[in-house]
Amino acid sequence: MSDEQTAGTEPHRDLGLYIHYCEHPGCTKWGGFGFAAGKDEPRWYCLDHRPEWKGR
């Protein structure tokens, strides 16, 4: 009989809850829309400045 302890149960971190601001120059709104093109790191824009998403 062996009592093995379960290791590696670290709590998750919510990395997606960072606050991003719109990257549009002069805009101080909260960028709730993240756009990631390929391997580039995502850019964040607000509702007014979000680029047209190329879904095709």
Chain residues that interact with Zn ion, rule: CB under 5 A:
22, 24, 27, 29, 46, 49
Nearest residue (CB) to Zn ion, 24 versus 43: 24
Reference 30, options 42, 18, 41; nearest CA is 18
Q: Which two tokens stand for residue 49?
A: 């400045």
Question: What's the closest the beta carbon of residue 43 comes to Zn ion, in angstroms?
Answer: 11
Cβ(50)–Cβ(35) below 8 Å: yes
Nearest residue (CB) to Zn ion, 29 versus 39: 29
Nearest residue (CB) to Zn ion, 37 versus 51: 51
